[in-house]
Amino acid sequence: MGRFYITTPIYYVNDVPHIGHAYTTTAADVAARYHRQLGDDVFFLTGTDEHGTKVEQAAVARGLTPKEHADEMVVKFKEVARKVGASNDFFIRTTDPEHEKYVQEFVQRCYDAGDIYKSSYSGLYCPACEAYYTDENLVDGLCPDHGTPPVRMEEENYFFRLSAFQERLSDLYRGNPEFVRPRHRYNEALSFIDQGLDDISISRATLKWGISVPWDPSQVIYVWVDALINYLSALTYAADEDLIPRFWPASYHLMAQDILKFHGIIWPALLMSAGYELPDHLFIHGYLKLGGEKMSKTRGNVMDPFPLIERYGADPFRFYCLREVSFGQDGMVSEEGFKARYNSELANELGNLLSRTASMIGKYRGGAVPAPPPGYADPPECDHAHPGSPLAVEATDVCAAVRTQLEEMDLSAALETIWVFVRRLNRYVEERAPWKLAKAAEAETAAAAAAAEFAQPGGSAGGRRLGESCSLAMTARPSMKAWSMDKAVKAAKAASEAAGIEEGGSANAALDATLWDLAEGLRLLSVLLYPFMPQTSALIRERLGLGAPAAVDSGLPSWDEAVWGLMPCGLSVGGGAPLFPRIEE
RNA sequence: GGCGGCGUAGCUCAGUCGGUCAGAGCAGCGGAAUCAUAAUCCGCGUGUCAGAGGUUCGAGUCCUCUCGCCGCUACCA
């Protein structure tokens, strides 16, 4: 059993949540759910960053205290997590007293290690950026980002000796090419390190809204240092026990590119200074760009994800974000794109696959998953041709590929692999044409009945095969019963031929096998799809008779079930509302 | 300015070690089928793989340069 600790950044409460927050949280959730399926010990953390000048100002502007402001904003961010269906184990707020206490301890350790010193700094400061600028950086004397005049500031600050970690950071990167992924982000961070690192200011004297420096209460710890430490502090009070020994170091810190430097350089250095192990990986995902719309000029090309989630549910939203853009790269999203994918892939391909399968099992087999012929359901032993189901080898490959891709955090690639299988199943329906098999099976049963009636009037048909009925028919003497048997047999032969049943094969067996294949394919999809669309996974399983939707989180399908051949027969497959009703507009 | 990325079919994009790599999906057109949410399946692409040079028996795939976007970073005259 492995251990898996994944984090999102803590989101800054100076502004309302947007699609980017939802995206990061969703991606982290997929990884967390996958690892729970593996049976790993999982901890998934998200939360909010609530200190700093901007929050203070936003609060003042609204006539509230910073804490009152934060308390209100936090509700919205918690709502994002809830709406996208995040299964986070804890939600940290940097205003939690436990966090504040832990940050002070942490910073004290760095101070004791001699990595923090006091120095004065003078320069032009942009309050909006919370950053100093040199004259050259200013555009016409104004802040390049905000266009506002900077103010001359001089203050005594505490500095973190980042420069002292240059060598060790460089070694860290060169020794772990996978430390930051994808690779181009790794290159970015490394080249930044190689350019030389300056010490950084980690406190402010002018700011009041923050955690005070333990040995100097006149100063407050600068927002990013406070924020980064959340990944550790949360573990100390999220549960009754101290979870640090159990979950640290983090497996993945997930984030967008804007905060790479904080996580890729400052954070490892802080950890080194305080004597902690470093996280295994940082994963930098891309930006979701809203645009490409020609029609929404008036609305400013803004796509608000929340109405979409309200209307269609969390799963389609999760699916869309991770399917549409290659994970780790920027991509364009739009409401049009959402609807297009929803209709073609969720409604038409996946939803309809379930509908048609359930319907056919209902019509042809009374709603019970039929038993495949003996040996048919066996998982393939190796790459050789499998004597049983024609889908077995392919399905096995799909499971293996999805596993590898999820392991690598290639979330969009995993979805692509899954979708190849969804399409395969629809093609399979066409190839086998169960409706033809059903006709042949019916005729076969009738022929068997007629043969039985001929051989033993009043007796039972007893599952006689068409071949047996045929030979009986040929040796029969002309009689009324023989004539009717002959007719039934001829009809059965014709139907079998139309359905592509080979000589001597049984239409009933072929139909059973095909319907079982489809049920099994869907069962497998419920396992593979679970991390991405947990609700959908549960609904599919419910329709297949495998479990109730109430068990969506407690009864998650284990990855052990990602093996071909486990679909039990006899389960009752019900009708039901479409999984994804088409969006008609 | 330096470093990095991107530029492939109308649209969104895959293309791992240079040799069926010129692809997928969507949209469009034609056909088949009828189990299904009129869903599905099959067939149909003359794309200078941004441009120019080079290496090679052979290059979207490597090298150089140019153009256009983007990211990171730095900042002379």
The pLDDT tens digits of the residues spanning A519-572 come to 999 999 999 999 999 999 999 999 999 875 444 455 689 999 999 999 988 888
Query: Which nucleotides on chain B have any atom < 7 A from a protein Cβ?
Result: 2-5, 11-14, 25-27, 33-37, 39-42, 71-76
Given a contact cutoff of 8 angstroms between Cβ atoms, the answer to whether A78 and A312 are in contact is no
Tell me, what DSSP letter sits at residue A145?
T
CA–CA gap between residue A184 and residue A174 (Å, rounded):
14
Distance CA A190 to C1' B61 in A: 26
For residue A109, which amino acid is it?
A: R
A34 Cβ contact list (under 8 Å, min separation 6):
A406, A530, A531, A559
With 90 as the cut, is the pLDDT of residue A96 above it? yes
What are the tokens at A99?
């966090």
pLDDT at A496: 72
Could you give the angle at the alpha carbon of A382 between the alpha carbons of A376 and A385, nearest 5°? 55
Protein residue minimizing CA–C1' distance to B32:
A430
Q: Name A157's bridge partners.
A: A119
- This prediction has a pTM of 0.89
E strand residue ranges, A312-404: 331-333
Note the ipTM here. Answer: 0.89
Given a contact cutoff of 8 angstroms between Cβ atoms, the answer to whether A199 and A159 are in contact is yes
A297 part of the active site:
yes
For residue A354, which amino acid is it?
A: L
Instruction: Report the candidate in A179, A282, A181, A274 with the shortest Cα–Cα distance to residue A229.
Output: A274
Given a contact cutoff of 8 angstroms between Cβ atoms, the answer to whether A94 and A11 are in contact is no
Count CB-CB contacts under 10 A for residue A311: 10
3-state secondary structure at position A460: coil
CA–CA gap between residue A472 and residue A486 (Å, rounded):
9
Nucleotide lying nearest to A580, CA to C1' measure: B37
Distance CA A195 to C1' B1 in A: 15
Distance CA A16 to C1' B49 in A: 43
pLDDT at A516: 95
Instruction: Report the candidate in A365, A275, A353, A406 with the shortest Cα–Cα distance to residue A520.
Output: A353
A143 part of the active site:
yes
With 60 as the cut, is the pLDDT of residue A455 above it? yes
Q: Residue A380 — φ and ψ, nearest 5°? A: -65, 135
Nucleotide lying nearest to A578, CA to C1' measure: B37
Q: What is the C-alpha radius of gyration for chain A, rounded to an integer number of angstroms?
A: 32
Tell me, what DSSP letter sits at residue A333?
E
Query: Is the pLDDT higher at A160 or at A497?
Result: A160
A384 part of the active site:
no
